[in-house]
Amino acid sequence: MQHINMLNEFKLIINGQSCLGEAGELDIINPATATLAARCAKASIAQVDQAVTAAKAAFKGWQRCSHEERKSILHKIADGIEKHAETLAELIVLEQGKPLALAQMEVQGAIGWTRYTAGLDLPVEIIEDSEQKRIERHYQPLGVVASITPWNWPLMIAVWHIMPALRAGNVVINKPSEFTPLATLKLCEIIQQEVPAGVISIVVGDGEVGEALSSHPDVQKVVFTGSTRTGQHIMSGAVKTLKHLTLELGGNDAGIVLPDADLDQIANRIFDMAFLNGGQTCAALKRLYVHESQYDALAQKLADIANAQVVGDGMAAETTFGPVQNKLQYDKVKALIADAIAQGAKALSGNQMLPEQGYFIAPTILTGLDDACRVVQEEQFGPVLPILKYQSIDDAIARANASEFGLGGSIWSQDLKAAQFYAAQLQCGTVWINTHAEVVPHAAFGGWKMSGIGAEFGLEGLLENTIGQTLHINKN
């Protein structure tokens, strides 16, 4: 950890000031060692109130800033992230566990997303322009936005929430996951250097702090990324004051490999997209349907790739595969694998030596199971991929769609026309052909069914941070 000064205290930011937590401190655990990595300030509910009051006051000035000014500030924030890139990457490894190269990619993604969002323009629609009258549709900022983020991509997801909200003229209070607040605290410190007091605040704590923030009467919008259950809770807390909501929730994405697929071409990419961040990615490929003619061959190829992974501490140069982020999730994934094996599934991989300490699970390829198995039915959110056999493509599509979730899905084939025909039949917000889980700042991303409401990224994502206002101008 060359760039982290552990003597730094990890403090909250409220009303432009860095401050201690009135609720004491949270222990942050390094998942690679299962030992204490840092202590971080924990906010009280009164501090959540203070942050909202400060945000409300700051909104008055921030919404009047010109678009050009806010664009320029976002670019300065991107410069700040760039300047602290190595520190941010090391903090991500320390608290989240992923290999350093992947954490560095997360930081680069944060910079790219910030710059892209800076460049977006809010449209003004001209609905009528006659001699008598002009009617325009404008998009105004909402006010105080509460951003609640999970532990899998802590920096990236905070950027996805905060930057479009600020760009559109809102003020933001972030609550990071209690498991991974460190990089987000650093991000907010960087943002704070460029914006007036109260425009960005960060309060750290568990679900209680999240609930106080997301149900606060003076919060106009909640953007939440996390589990479906918490999303439902937040939605019910938003009812009283009719808050705007963007919910990016769980997923159980299916991939379907058509019989003509070239296995040598796709095996590595399937592995990468199923085990991205150790499988702890909302839109990772979580169920793979393979035609019976190619089933054994593809399963073996994926197992070979899995067995070649070096599982270990994300800071070690040789590591290609990090730990599960926390003990709860580790226990959950272990139990899902054990349940599948008890039901007759075979683990084709996962035998490599693991470090003795830490929450390590080797990437596990499971075969010989059916769709009723829990590891297929539930979102695993960890390093396991069940491979399921099909005979007819229509049956594979029906099984892929037989999920309460609808985040993403993929079709793998050399025949792009056929792939597109089947892609249109998948019930999910994003469908990939010959890839999976790829997201870009200029294409909207959001879930169907229990995977969410609304979308992020691109103009559509920016507009979710605004409210439409129609302007009628009588010319005489």
State the residues that interact with ligand NAD by CB under 6 A: 148-152, 175, 177-178, 206-207, 210-211, 214, 225-227, 230, 233-234, 248-251, 282, 379, 381, 407, 447, 452
Least separation, in Å, of the C-beta of 202 and ligand NAD?
Answer: 12
- CB closer to ligand NAD out of 21 and 169: 21
How many Å separate Cα 96 from the centre of its chain? Answer: 13
- CB closer to ligand NAD out of 179 and 271: 179
Structure tokens at 318: 């040789």
Q: Name the strand (E) or helix (H) holding 310.
A: none
Strand partners, 225: 248
Beta carbons of 401 and 393 less than 8 angstroms apart: no
Least separation, in Å, of the C-beta of 99 and ligand NAD?
Answer: 18
CA 315 – CA 299 distance, rounded (Å): 30
Mode of pairing for the β-strands spanning 430-433 and 466-474: unpaired
Least separation, in Å, of the C-beta of 412 and ligand NAD?
Answer: 22
CA 52 – CA 172 distance, rounded (Å): 9
- CB closer to ligand NAD out of 261 and 428: 428
Phi, psi of 18 (to 5 degrees): -85, 135
Q: Out of 248, 379, 456, 464, pick the active-site residue.
A: 248
CA 223 – CA 245 distance, rounded (Å): 6
Mode of pairing for the β-strands spanning 221-225 and 125-129: unpaired
Phi, psi of 349 (to 5 degrees): -145, 180
Residue 282 bears catalytic tag: yes
Q: Out of 282, 373, 428, 456, pick the active-site residue.
A: 282
- CB closer to ligand NAD out of 169 and 408: 408
Structure tokens at 343: 């039901």
CA 210 – CA 43 distance, rounded (Å): 10
Residue 248 bears catalytic tag: yes
CA 49 – CA 17 distance, rounded (Å): 15
- CB closer to ligand NAD out of 152 and 170: 152
Alpha-helical (H) ranges within 255-410 are 263-274, 295-307, 327-342, 374-377, 393-401
- CB closer to ligand NAD out of 196 and 448: 448
- CB closer to ligand NAD out of 152 and 403: 152
Cα–Cα nearest to 177, from 273, 40, 65, 35: 40
Least separation, in Å, of the C-beta of 233 and ligand NAD?
Answer: 4
CB neighbours of 122 closer than 8 A, spacing ≥ 6? 67, 138, 139, 168, 462, 463, 466
CA 148 – CA 443 distance, rounded (Å): 22
Least separation, in Å, of the C-beta of 353 and ligand NAD?
Answer: 28
Beta carbons of 277 and 98 less than 8 angstroms apart: yes
Q: 3-class SS at 126?
A: strand
Least separation, in Å, of the C-beta of 375 and ligand NAD?
Answer: 15
CA 250 – CA 229 distance, rounded (Å): 9
Least separation, in Å, of the C-beta of 146 and ligand NAD?
Answer: 9
- Name the residues annotated as catalytic: 248, 282
